Homo-oligomer: A and B are copies of this chain.
Amino acid sequence: MTDYAGEALSAEQATQMRATFEPLTHAVRDLIDAVIRSEADDNLVAAALTEIESATARLRSRQRDGHFGARRVVGGEPVAWGNAATGLRNPLAPPVVVKRERSGIASADVFLGAAYEGPPGHVHGGYCALILDHLLGEVASGPDNPRFTGTLSLRYLRATPLGVVHAEARIERIDGIKTYAVGQLSDGDGTTIQAEGVFIQPRWARG
């Protein structure tokens, strides 16, 4: 879990890479929404398909093997830009931007549009699980203190409408290598899903 691909990036290289790829990620998120909602005719769809395939070929003209992984940044946080919940370079990621409050609560406000649909008009319950897993895992882990999901239990009180959702998490207690975290997802009318989980310090990170 600690493997870093390639040499460490300088802070300038990381900034440059962000400037190059972040607009691309935003553009592909917008494209995904359009693919789902489009009612364009066959000719327009065919023309769009040609452009998409051309863009992919340009991007693939030079690419890394396999997956993004994580890269070390000199003097900064490692970048894991492929991450499916938060990745700067992953158009699948909603993305979840975690805010940490002094009280120890971690929270995120995430807009979930057409691409996150499960039951008509509502967020897929599995995507709600993804957001809660990520947030509870974040609050259980310190900046240099990784914790991986051991168990996760979710109670769905009602369906979560598409739109802005608010997620919150906090540590309940710590018992040796186990950190117990709790949290919930909510919309404007209150809690829709309650979550609790146990997050485990991996063997390689134990002192």
Contact = CB atoms under 8 A, between A and B. Distances in A.
Interface in A150-201: 150-156, 159, 162
B114 A66 contact: yes
B53 A115 contact: no
A74 to B, nearest CB: 19
A85 to B, nearest CB: 6
Contacts of A151: 153-156
Interface string A79-96: 011111101011110000
Nearest to A61: B40
Interface string A28-69: 101110111111111011011101111110111111111111
A90 B36 contact: yes
A18 B19 CA distance: 36
B137 A125 contact: yes
Q: How many copies of this chain?
A: 2
A111 interface: no
A160 B45 CA distance: 36
Contacts of A28: 28, 31-32, 35, 52
Contacts of A81: 36
A20 B42 contact: yes
A129 B2 CA distance: 23
20 contacts: A1-B159, A24-B52, A27-B52, A27-B53, A31-B52, A31-B56, A32-B91, A34-B59, A35-B91, A40-B60, A44-B59, A48-B55, A48-B56, A49-B55, A52-B52, A66-B114, A125-B137, A150-B156, A151-B153, A151-B154
Given A48-B56, A126-B132, 9 more contacts: A5-B120, A24-B49, A39-B64, A40-B60, A45-B58, A48-B58, A49-B55, A69-B120, A80-B120
Interface of A: 1-5, 20-21, 23-25, 27-28, 30-32, 34-42, 44-45, 47-49, 51-56, 58-70, 80-85, 87, 89-92, 113-122, 124-127, 129-134, 137, 148-156, 159, 162
